[in-house]
Amino acid sequence: RPRPAPSPDGLLDPPAAFYPLPYFGCALAYGADPGKFGRENELRHGPIFATKMLGRKATFVTSAPLIAALYKNSRAAQHDPIRMEIPIRMFGIAPYAVQHESLPEHGFPLFDKALSFQSVKPLSAAFSQHFWKRLSATDALAKTSPGDTVEVKFTRFLFPLVFAATCEVFLGPRFDADGSYADFEVFDEQIFKFLAGVPPAMAPAAFKSRARVRDALIRFLERAWTPDSAEAHGGYLAGASPLLSELVGRFHGWKFATADQAGHLLSIIWGFQPNLVWTIYWLFLHLLQDASRVARLRAEIDTAMRDVFGGKLDACLGAEPAVFERKEFALLSSALNETLRLCGSATSMRRVVEDFVITDTQGSSASAKAAAAEGLPAPAAPAAPVQYLLRKGEDAYAITRTVHMDPELYADPESFRIDRFLAEDGTCSRKFYKAGKHVANNLMGWGGGVSKCAGRYYATHAVKLCVILMFHHFDIQHTANCALSADATAGTGTGTGQGLRAYTKPAVPDMDMSRIGMLTAKQDIVLSLRRRV
Ligand code: HEM
């Protein structure tokens, strides 16, 4: 790869990737598929390169050590300036309520505290109860007997249940989750239009859906906010989690308009729903591709239901997240990690607020084989560490998919291997190595550094509970693929699967590579659920 020329101050600028479009720069290539964009540029320039994106200079890092270095220097490369910009476009919150000086110190940290491994139990226990209440009320369980079979469209069946359960956990029963789901889904599908700053006239459906969800949240806030002078923040949010009640109390203290409070709540709902449900989708889908995967996981779940929970569903519903981390659930933990690796595309964004030097000691993540396939010379590790300067005012992006798909770290990276993360002792603790060196940050599905997913313990628990309950109650088969539409006749009914327009054989649908976070599918799938208990 060409060696970049030293800048006038003697330090190296990262190699430049060339995207000639004025203003947009690399935005189209990056937006279409961040993972491919990272991999292709890594093959050409190495694991750090710079270009323009939306009028700003952007440096990208793609190897595990450079991503770790970027995460580590949170003083020079900060996340707060980014999260004080994007919500304005995405959630329509007025700038004063996104850039309020108290948010970084007294707003965002509430999530880290309430969702930490030590504190998350009441929230995850509430999810278990709400999710089970919803699942047990579906036709598939409420209107069937053991041995009966129903067909469901996966996203129609499970996504609204997860949405309603999580809304109830965080916002309580006064928010109309069922009535808001369809609009939320349209908003989420079109989120990229808000990110790209498309005006309302060019995306009327997206803007109308967003407005309707926000209106529902405004009505919720008006109904649930209960003034009480005995409370630290002059009131509380009736029926909501203490986390949301305290946050909204602070919003009142900072004199945020109700519409802007609703915008913040929308950002929170958006933070938990799509990543969570698409993780569940891909995990099921990859499991169901192979009968031996299903058999192994079923054996693990049946044994755990008997030995860990004494055969009692209530004990499972009451289990704290630590229980699902035990060796008895190692294969499920491995399957979740493998899903995050194969089906996620997390990018962490930072604003460089002071110059800093980042050192490349290892060179590219890309293998010689991958380079040969692209007709490029093999990327060599630098003979000596190379120091690059990231300058104040630039943006920096950590692309994690390049690491997750690195064949030197993960053999046959395109395949789903359910036990990939199992160590020899059977626990989900396998260590990964590249060129003989241990790679500690081999899996970054939750992002990393100061912006690492605050909800990861809650989400891990929710995904596992969902898989356990489904496998405990049903024999499940993936029978066909079908259209991803909100077609009300297809998906949640019992019986013969009337209305299901299956049009392909049951293969893994393509992923929409343009998403950031968990990738979405281009097709829905039809599951056959045969009631067990
Ligand atoms: C399997 C499901 C989930 C996945 C894969 C996921 C992944 C992520 C990723 C990749 C980030 C950005 C990290 C970065 O920029 O470095 C993130 C941020 C975040 N996630 Fe999640 N997430 C999931 C579920 C949830 C849930 C259920 C919640 C809430 C209960 C949640 C709360 C958050 C919050 C608050 C942040 C922002 C952290 C910050 O900026 O300080 N996530 N998540």
Q: Is 408 among the domain residues? A: no
Q: Residue 360 pLDDT more than 90?
A: no
pLDDT at 295: 97
Q: What is the pLDDT of residue 12?
A: 86
Beta-carbon-side half-sphere exposure of residue 206 (alpha carbons within 13 Å): 20
Range of the domain at 166: 107-341+454-531
Nearest to 379 by CA among 395, 364, 391: 364
Taking CA atoms only, the protein residue closest to ligand 1 atom 23 is 275
Are the CB atoms for 253 and 235 separated by under 8 Å? Answer: no
- Region 453-467 average pLDDT: 98
DSSP symbols for 223-272: HHEEE-TTSTTSEEETTS-HHHHHHHHHHHHTT--HHHHHHHHHHHHHHH
Q: What is the pLDDT of residue 487?
A: 56
Q: Is 196 helix (H, G, I), strand (E, B) or coil?
A: coil
Q: pLDDT category, 370, cuts 50, 70, 90?
A: low
Interface confidence, given as ipTM, is 0.98
Contact 324, 461 (CB under 8 A): yes
pLDDT at residue number 368 = 59
* Cα 412 to ligand 1 centroid, rounded to whole Å: 27
Q: Are 345 and 519 in contact (CB under 8 A)?
A: yes
For the CA of 516, the closest atom of ligand 1 is 10
Residue 370 domain flag: no
Domain containing 183 — which CATH number?
Answer: 1.10.630.10
5-19, 301-315, 345-359, 460-474: segment of lowest average pLDDT: 5-19
CA distance 421 to 338: 7
> Is 496 inside any structural domain?
yes
Give the pLDDT mean for 115-122: 96
Q: Which residue has the tokens 């005006």?
A: 199
Higher model confidence: residue 214 or residue 8?
A: 214
Q: At how many degrees (to 10) do helices 258-288 and 177-189 cross?
A: 80
CA nearest neighbour of 460 among 242, 288, 272: 272
Domains contained in the chain, number: 1
Whole-number pLDDT of residue 376: 66
* pLDDT exceeds cutoff 50 at 488: no
Closest atom of ligand 1 to 349 CA is 15
CA angle in degrees (0–180, nearest 5) for 456-132-114: 30
The two three-digit tokens of residue 24, written as one number:
């947009």
Q: Report how far apart, in Å, the C-alpha atoms of 298 and of each of 91, 145, 301, 331, 473 are.
A: 41, 20, 5, 10, 11
First to last CA, the chain: 60
3-state secondary structure of 142: helix
User: How far apart, in whole angstroms, are the C-alpha atoms of residue 463 and residue 370?
Assistant: 33
Which residue has the least CA distance to atom 39 on ligand 1?
Answer: 451
**Banded pLDDT at 363 (limits 50, 70, 90):** low
Q: Is the pLDDT of residue 511 over 60?
A: yes
Q: Are 43 and 366 in contact (CB under 8 A)?
A: yes
How far is it, in rounded angstroms, from Cα 344 to Cα 445?
Answer: 6
Which residue ranges have their beta carbon within 6 Å of ligand 1? 79, 83, 108, 111, 115, 271-272, 275-276, 279, 340, 344, 346, 348, 445-448, 451-455, 458-459, 463, 517-518
In a domain, 54, yes or no: no
197, part of any domain: yes
CA–CA gap between residue 354 and residue 330 (Å, rounded): 43
Q: Ligand 1 centroid vs 400 CA: distance in angstroms?
A: 14
Q: What is the pLDDT of residue 486?
A: 54
Q: 96 with 103: CB under 8 angstroms? A: no
Place of tokens 């579906």: 138
Site to substitute for ligand 1 among 453, 463, 466, most atoms within 8 A of C-beta:
453
> Is residue 423 in some structural domain?
no
The Cα 226–Cα 210 span in angstroms is 26
238: amino acid identity, one letter: A
- Spacing, Cα 451 to ligand 1 middle (Å): 8
Q: Looking at residue 333, what is its pLDDT?
A: 98
What is the structure's pLDDT at 2? 55
Q: Classify burial at 415, counting beta carbons within 10 Å of its beta carbon; exposed 0-12, middle 13-18, buried 19 or more.
A: exposed
pLDDT score, position 23? 87
Residue 226 resides in a domain: yes
Residue 431 alpha carbon to ligand 1 centre in Å: 24
User: Which protein residue has the closest C-alpha to ligand 1 atom 20?
Assistant: 453
Kindly indicate the confidence band of residue 425, based on its pLDDT and cuts at 50, 70 and 90.
very high
CA–centroid distance, residue 516 to ligand 1 (Å): 11
Looking at the CA of residue 517, tell me the nearest atom of ligand 1: 10
Give the model's confidence band at 494: pLDDT under 50 very low, under 70 low, under 90 confident, else very high. very low
The answer to whether position 55 is within a domain reads: no
Q: Tell me the CA–centroid distance for residue 149 and ligand 1, in Å.
A: 36
Angle, vertex CA 397, rays to CA 519 and CA 448, nearest 5: 70
